[in-house]
Amino acid sequence: MFDTLMALPLFQGLGREDLTRIVESTRLDFRTLKAGTTFITQGSSCDGLTFVMDGTVCMSTDAADSRWRVEELLASPLVIGTEVLYGRTRWHLHSYRTEQQVHLLDVDKRTVGALTAYFEVFRLNLLNLLTTGIVKHEQQNWLPPSASLEGRIITFLRRHVMRPAGEKRFHISLPLLGAYLGQDPRYVSKALHRLEDRGVVELGRRLIVIPKFEKLVQ
Protein backbone atom coordinates (compact mmCIF):
# COMPACT_ATOMS: atom_id res chain seq x y z
CA MET A 1 0.00 0.00 0.00
CA PHE A 2 2.83 2.41 0.81
CA ASP A 3 4.45 1.92 -2.59
CA THR A 4 1.09 2.43 -4.29
CA LEU A 5 0.32 5.63 -2.38
CA MET A 6 3.79 7.07 -3.02
CA ALA A 7 3.23 6.66 -6.77
CA LEU A 8 -0.06 8.60 -6.75
CA PRO A 9 -0.30 12.31 -7.55
CA LEU A 10 -0.39 14.49 -4.40
CA PHE A 11 1.19 11.73 -2.28
CA GLN A 12 4.52 11.81 -4.11
CA GLY A 13 7.36 12.99 -1.90
CA LEU A 14 5.77 11.91 1.38
CA GLY A 15 7.85 9.64 3.59
CA ARG A 16 6.75 6.31 5.06
CA GLU A 17 6.24 7.88 8.47
CA ASP A 18 3.82 10.45 7.05
CA LEU A 19 2.02 7.80 4.99
CA THR A 20 1.67 5.63 8.09
CA ARG A 21 0.01 8.53 9.91
CA ILE A 22 -2.33 9.10 6.97
CA VAL A 23 -3.34 5.43 6.72
CA GLU A 24 -3.90 5.13 10.47
CA SER A 25 -5.74 8.40 11.08
CA THR A 26 -7.74 9.17 7.93
CA ARG A 27 -10.50 7.52 5.94
CA LEU A 28 -9.28 6.09 2.65
CA ASP A 29 -11.88 4.23 0.59
CA PHE A 30 -10.54 1.67 -1.88
CA ARG A 31 -12.70 0.02 -4.51
CA THR A 32 -12.32 -2.18 -7.60
CA LEU A 33 -14.36 -1.57 -10.76
CA LYS A 34 -14.78 -3.83 -13.77
CA ALA A 35 -14.32 -2.66 -17.36
CA GLY A 36 -17.05 -0.45 -18.80
CA THR A 37 -18.13 1.09 -15.49
CA THR A 38 -18.93 4.82 -15.39
CA PHE A 39 -17.86 6.06 -11.97
CA ILE A 40 -18.12 9.84 -12.42
CA THR A 41 -20.72 11.67 -14.50
CA GLN A 42 -20.29 15.12 -16.03
CA GLY A 43 -22.29 17.66 -14.02
CA SER A 44 -22.36 15.60 -10.81
CA SER A 45 -21.26 17.16 -7.53
CA CYS A 46 -17.57 16.89 -6.62
CA ASP A 47 -17.35 15.88 -2.97
CA GLY A 48 -13.74 14.69 -2.91
CA LEU A 49 -10.83 13.42 -4.96
CA THR A 50 -10.69 10.13 -6.84
CA PHE A 51 -7.32 8.51 -7.54
CA VAL A 52 -7.03 5.98 -10.37
CA MET A 53 -4.33 3.64 -9.09
CA ASP A 54 -3.91 1.40 -12.13
CA GLY A 55 -5.35 0.68 -15.56
CA THR A 56 -6.81 3.07 -18.13
CA VAL A 57 -9.96 5.21 -18.03
CA CYS A 58 -11.89 7.05 -20.71
CA MET A 59 -12.66 10.69 -19.97
CA SER A 60 -15.68 11.96 -21.91
CA THR A 61 -16.68 15.62 -22.26
CA ASP A 62 -19.95 16.78 -23.82
CA ALA A 63 -20.24 20.21 -25.41
CA ALA A 64 -22.54 22.72 -23.70
CA ASP A 65 -25.25 22.08 -26.30
CA SER A 66 -24.64 18.28 -26.22
CA ARG A 67 -24.18 18.22 -30.01
CA TRP A 68 -20.69 16.76 -29.87
CA ARG A 69 -18.24 15.23 -27.43
CA VAL A 70 -14.60 14.28 -26.94
CA GLU A 71 -13.24 11.07 -25.44
CA GLU A 72 -9.70 10.76 -24.13
CA LEU A 73 -7.94 7.65 -22.91
CA LEU A 74 -5.97 8.46 -19.74
CA ALA A 75 -3.43 6.17 -18.12
CA SER A 76 -2.87 5.83 -14.38
CA PRO A 77 -1.82 7.09 -11.94
CA LEU A 78 -4.39 9.84 -12.17
CA VAL A 79 -6.22 12.16 -9.77
CA ILE A 80 -9.70 13.45 -10.60
CA GLY A 81 -11.43 16.49 -9.15
CA THR A 82 -8.62 18.87 -8.16
CA GLU A 83 -9.88 21.72 -10.35
CA VAL A 84 -13.48 21.64 -9.06
CA LEU A 85 -13.16 20.53 -5.43
CA TYR A 86 -13.05 24.16 -4.25
CA GLY A 87 -14.37 27.42 -5.63
CA ARG A 88 -17.72 28.32 -7.16
CA THR A 89 -17.77 25.51 -9.75
CA ARG A 90 -18.11 22.32 -7.74
CA TRP A 91 -19.47 19.88 -10.28
CA HIS A 92 -17.44 17.56 -12.47
CA LEU A 93 -16.56 18.85 -15.94
CA HIS A 94 -16.09 15.36 -17.43
CA SER A 95 -17.43 11.82 -17.21
CA TYR A 96 -15.11 8.88 -16.50
CA ARG A 97 -15.50 5.24 -17.56
CA THR A 98 -13.16 2.31 -16.96
CA GLU A 99 -11.55 0.75 -20.04
CA GLN A 100 -10.41 -2.27 -18.01
CA GLN A 101 -10.53 -3.37 -14.39
CA VAL A 102 -9.14 -0.58 -12.25
CA HIS A 103 -8.55 0.13 -8.58
CA LEU A 104 -9.67 3.49 -7.20
CA LEU A 105 -8.96 5.42 -4.03
CA ASP A 106 -11.62 7.92 -2.87
CA VAL A 107 -10.70 10.72 -0.45
CA ASP A 108 -13.55 12.93 0.76
CA LYS A 109 -13.30 16.73 0.84
CA ARG A 110 -12.88 16.93 4.61
CA THR A 111 -9.93 14.52 4.51
CA VAL A 112 -8.36 16.43 1.61
CA GLY A 113 -8.59 19.60 3.71
CA ALA A 114 -6.88 17.88 6.65
CA LEU A 115 -4.10 16.48 4.47
CA THR A 116 -3.57 19.90 2.87
CA ALA A 117 -3.34 21.54 6.28
CA TYR A 118 -1.00 19.06 7.96
CA PHE A 119 1.32 17.92 5.16
CA GLU A 120 3.26 20.58 3.26
CA VAL A 121 4.28 18.16 0.50
CA PHE A 122 0.64 17.26 -0.15
CA ARG A 123 -0.26 20.97 -0.23
CA LEU A 124 2.58 21.81 -2.63
CA ASN A 125 1.66 18.89 -4.91
CA LEU A 126 -1.92 20.16 -5.08
CA LEU A 127 -0.78 23.70 -5.88
CA ASN A 128 1.56 22.36 -8.55
CA LEU A 129 -1.26 20.47 -10.26
CA LEU A 130 -3.54 23.50 -10.22
CA THR A 131 -0.93 25.98 -11.48
CA THR A 132 0.22 23.59 -14.20
CA GLY A 133 -3.34 23.38 -15.46
CA ILE A 134 -3.66 27.17 -15.49
CA VAL A 135 -0.42 27.60 -17.44
CA LYS A 136 -1.47 25.00 -20.05
CA HIS A 137 -4.80 26.76 -20.49
CA GLU A 138 -3.08 30.12 -20.98
CA GLN A 139 -0.67 28.64 -23.51
CA GLN A 140 -3.56 27.20 -25.52
CA ASN A 141 -5.12 30.66 -25.82
CA TRP A 142 -1.95 32.05 -27.39
CA LEU A 143 -1.30 29.42 -30.03
CA PRO A 144 -0.39 31.15 -33.34
CA PRO A 145 -2.98 30.95 -36.13
CA SER A 146 -2.36 28.51 -38.97
CA ALA A 147 -2.56 29.47 -42.61
CA SER A 148 -3.72 26.00 -43.70
CA LEU A 149 -7.09 24.42 -42.99
CA GLU A 150 -5.35 21.29 -41.70
CA GLY A 151 -3.49 23.44 -39.19
CA ARG A 152 -6.71 25.13 -38.05
CA ILE A 153 -8.33 21.73 -37.57
CA ILE A 154 -5.39 20.57 -35.45
CA THR A 155 -5.58 23.77 -33.37
CA PHE A 156 -9.30 23.19 -32.78
CA LEU A 157 -8.68 19.59 -31.70
CA ARG A 158 -5.77 20.61 -29.47
CA ARG A 159 -7.84 23.22 -27.63
CA HIS A 160 -10.42 20.62 -26.65
CA VAL A 161 -8.23 17.95 -25.04
CA MET A 162 -6.77 17.78 -21.56
CA ARG A 163 -3.51 16.12 -22.57
CA PRO A 164 -1.95 16.50 -26.05
CA ALA A 165 -0.92 12.83 -26.10
CA GLY A 166 -2.54 9.41 -26.35
CA GLU A 167 -5.73 8.33 -28.11
CA LYS A 168 -8.59 10.83 -28.62
CA ARG A 169 -12.02 10.41 -30.20
CA PHE A 170 -14.02 13.39 -31.47
CA HIS A 171 -17.70 12.61 -32.03
CA ILE A 172 -18.64 15.54 -34.24
CA SER A 173 -20.33 16.01 -37.62
CA LEU A 174 -18.66 17.71 -40.58
CA PRO A 175 -21.25 20.52 -40.77
CA LEU A 176 -20.76 21.32 -37.09
CA LEU A 177 -16.96 21.22 -37.33
CA GLY A 178 -17.19 23.42 -40.41
CA ALA A 179 -19.33 25.90 -38.47
CA TYR A 180 -16.70 26.12 -35.71
CA LEU A 181 -13.98 26.70 -38.29
CA GLY A 182 -16.03 29.01 -40.52
CA GLN A 183 -15.46 26.70 -43.49
CA ASP A 184 -17.58 24.78 -45.98
CA PRO A 185 -17.90 21.16 -44.75
CA ARG A 186 -16.67 19.93 -48.14
CA TYR A 187 -13.32 21.65 -47.63
CA VAL A 188 -13.14 20.39 -44.06
CA SER A 189 -13.73 16.84 -45.32
CA LYS A 190 -10.91 17.15 -47.86
CA ALA A 191 -8.52 18.49 -45.21
CA LEU A 192 -9.40 15.64 -42.84
CA HIS A 193 -8.80 13.08 -45.57
CA ARG A 194 -5.38 14.62 -46.22
CA LEU A 195 -4.60 14.15 -42.53
CA GLU A 196 -5.89 10.58 -42.80
CA ASP A 197 -3.58 9.96 -45.76
CA ARG A 198 -0.68 11.02 -43.53
CA GLY A 199 -1.70 8.40 -40.98
CA VAL A 200 -2.40 10.80 -38.09
CA VAL A 201 -6.21 10.49 -37.97
CA GLU A 202 -8.82 7.82 -38.70
CA LEU A 203 -12.23 8.90 -39.98
CA GLY A 204 -15.65 7.36 -39.40
CA ARG A 205 -19.27 8.48 -39.44
CA ARG A 206 -19.40 11.59 -37.23
CA LEU A 207 -16.10 10.41 -35.76
CA ILE A 208 -12.46 11.54 -35.82
CA VAL A 209 -10.04 9.18 -34.07
CA ILE A 210 -6.50 10.32 -33.29
CA PRO A 211 -4.53 7.20 -32.25
CA LYS A 212 -1.53 9.22 -31.04
CA PHE A 213 -2.26 12.88 -30.49
CA GLU A 214 1.42 13.70 -29.97
CA LYS A 215 2.06 12.54 -33.55
CA LEU A 216 -0.68 14.82 -34.85
CA VAL A 217 0.62 17.97 -33.17
CA GLN A 218 4.16 17.35 -34.42
Same domain, 135 and 161: no
Bridge partners, residue 32, by sequence: 103
Which range marks the domain in which residue 163 is found?
149-217
Question: From start to end of 146-214, where are the E strands?
Answer: 168-171, 202-204, 207-210
CA distance 208 to 173: 9
Domain endpoint, select from 141, 167, 202: 141
Domain endpoint, select from 141, 170, 186: 141
Question: What's 199's domain CATH number?
Answer: 1.10.10.10
- pTM for this one? 0.92
Same domain, 136 and 156: no
Same domain, 160 and 134: no
Same domain, 130 and 153: no
Which is nearest to 211 in space by CA: 200, 197, 195? 200
Q: In this predicted structure, what is the pLDDT of residue 119?
A: 94
pLDDT in tens, the chain (218 residues): 778 888 899 999 998 899 999 988 888 899 999 999 999 999 999 999 999 999 999 999 999 999 999 999 999 999 999 999 998 889 999 999 999 999 999 999 999 999 999 999 999 999 999 999 889 888 887 878 888 999 999 999 999 999 889 999 999 999 999 999 999 999 999 999 999 999 999 999 999 999 999 999 88
Bridge partners, residue 98, by sequence: 57
Same domain, 12 and 118: yes
Type of residue found at 105: L
Residues 82, 111, 122: CA angle, nearest 5 degrees: 60
Same domain, 9 and 90: yes
CA distance 53 to 70: 23
Q: How many domains does the chain have?
A: 2
